[in-house]
């Protein structure tokens, strides 16, 4: 049995404080979280093959939550050497998870978009980020958000990896792409205390 992620324990503690007219959503199958970057040889990409997350909504607005990704489950699908280099860059043995804890979410000026603010932790370093996500609608009890965030690896204390005796080196700038499918934990219409 898999251990419950630290982020989920924290989220459950947060969610237990006030459940009035709230609905909990979990990060569902079909979500994708991908990191794109570049090197002096070619572009590269890695994708999360597993993840966990929970968010609380009140009247359709996300109010708290977060997600985590095991670093060891970030895969390129191309090369085991690339995967090992990436895991080493994250110092996966000491910092096994990438996590995001949401602090606030506000509607953006452009309709359908949200500014989601929180703390992103990678390689043991946390920094505040504001991620623009587009709400792409909902089907049944599932809602979808998509967007991307540019980051500089060095701001998280990571050194861009090199290979082939230094002849291949990567850029510090990466882009994280999010396509998040959130599924309600309510089997029927959620009850409201109001």
Distance CA 47, CA 145 (A): 17
pLDDT per residue over 87-112, tens digit each?
Answer: 888 899 999 999 999 999 999 999 99
CA-to-CA distance for 192 and 75, rounded, in angstroms? Answer: 42
Ranges 33-47, 97-111, 126-140, 157-171: which has the least confidence? 157-171
Chain mean pLDDT for the chain? 83
Q: Where are the beta strands (DSSP E) in the chain?
A: 22-27, 32-38, 43-48, 52-58, 61-70, 74-75, 97-107, 113-122, 125-139, 142-152, 162-163, 168-169, 173-184
Model pLDDT for residues 38-70, shown as the tens digit of each residue? 776 678 889 999 999 999 999 888 999 999 999
What average pLDDT does this structure show over 134-162? 88
pTM confidence score: 0.80
- CATH number at 6-184: 2.40.128.110
Of the pLDDT bands very low, low, confident and very high (cuts 50, 70, 90), residue 19 is: very low
Segment 9-32 shows an average pLDDT of: 69
Helix (H) or strand (E) holding 80: helix 80-89
Q: How many angstroms separate the CA atoms of 19 and 64, rounded? A: 12
């Amino acid at each position: 049995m898999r251990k419950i992620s630290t982020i989920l324990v924290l989220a459950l503690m947060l969610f237990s404080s006030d459940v009035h007219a709230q609905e909990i959503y979990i990060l569902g199958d079909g979500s994708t979280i991908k990191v794109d970057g570049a090197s002096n040889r070619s572009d590269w990409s890695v994708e999360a093959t597993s993840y966990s997350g929970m968010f609380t909504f009140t009247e359709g607005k996300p109010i708290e939550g977060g997600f985590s990704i095991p670093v060891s489950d970030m895969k390129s699908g191309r090369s085991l050497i690339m995967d090992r280099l990436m895991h080493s860059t994250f110092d996966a043995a000491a910092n096994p998870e990438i996590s995001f804890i949401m602090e606030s979410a506000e509607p953006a000026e452009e309709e359908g978009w949200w500014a989601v603010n929180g703390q992103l932790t990678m390689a043991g370093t946390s920094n505040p980020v504001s991620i623009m996500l587009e709400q792409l609608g909902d089907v049944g009890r599932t809602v979808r958000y998509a967007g991307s965030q540019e980051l500089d690896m060095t701001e998280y204390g990571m050194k861009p990896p090199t290979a082939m005796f230094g002849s291949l080196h990567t850029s510090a700038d990466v882009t994280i792409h999010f396509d998040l499918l959130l599924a309600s934990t309510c089997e029927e219409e959620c009850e409201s205390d109001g």
